[in-house]
A = this chain, B = another copy of it.
Amino acid sequence: MWDMAQSTVPPTGPELGDRSGLAGDVVGRITHIASAMRHHQGTEFAELGLTPATARALHELDPDCPLPARDLAEVLGCDRSNVTALVDKLEQAGLVERRVDPADRRQKTLVVTETGRQVRARVRQVMSDSRLLAGLSTEELATLRELVWKVSDGGCPEQCETD
């Protein structure tokens, strides 16, 4: 069935009986599509002087609602120690500032600068760039959205805790 997923035969015969082959096929395709998306985003981020990880970190930092590093780590689903390096790079690039929280001097609040705000807007643009979906009609897109929505609701929408 995996071989089928790798072939170039179009899905003209849905073969509704073979549920697991069907599902495995879809899994393979989604993997391919996501990989292509990551690749494309990676090159776009590089043009902004960002790596995928720093871009994602910037993306998660709301300019209107500064977070402590601890919370950013949680949103990113990674360890606090990684956030240090990520924010180091963002700060070096002038996109983010660390500010000691006067209320709790252990915490450092991550504030997006004006430049950071602009770069972040571009990052968000790239992250929802849908050129890969250009081949679908608007109706197909709507159907696809319904289906992927249903999948991510039933599965692991955020950090995949249901494993």
Which B residues touch A157, using CB under 8 A?
A: 8, 32
A158 engages B11 (CB within 8 Å): no
Instruction: For the complex, give the distance between the alpha carbons of A141 and B143 in Å.
Output: 12
Interface mask (A120-161 → B, CB under 8 Å = 1, otherwise 0): 000010011111111110111111111111111111111010
Instruction: For the complex, give the distance between the alpha carbons of A163 and B14 in Å.
Output: 30
Interface: A20 (CB within 8 A)? yes
B155 engages A147 (CB within 8 Å): no
In terms of DSSP, what is the predominant structure of the interface of chain A?
helix
Q: What number of copies of this chain does the assembly contain?
A: 2
Number of interface residues of A (CB under 8 A): 63
Instruction: For the complex, give the distance between the alpha carbons of A40 and B131 in Å.
Output: 28
Min CB gap A150→B, angstroms:
6
Which B residues touch A136, using CB under 8 A?
A: 147, 150-151, 154
Minimum CB distance partner of A19 in chain B: B138
B27 engages A156 (CB within 8 Å): no
Instruction: For the complex, give the distance between the alpha carbons of A32 and B30 in Å.
Output: 11
* Residues of chain A in range 1-29 having any CB-CB distance to chain B below 8 Å: 1-2, 5, 8, 10-11, 14, 16, 19-20, 22-29
Chain A residues within CB distance 8 Å of chain B: 1-2, 5, 8, 10-11, 14, 16, 19-20, 22-37, 39-40, 43, 124, 127-136, 138-158, 160, 163
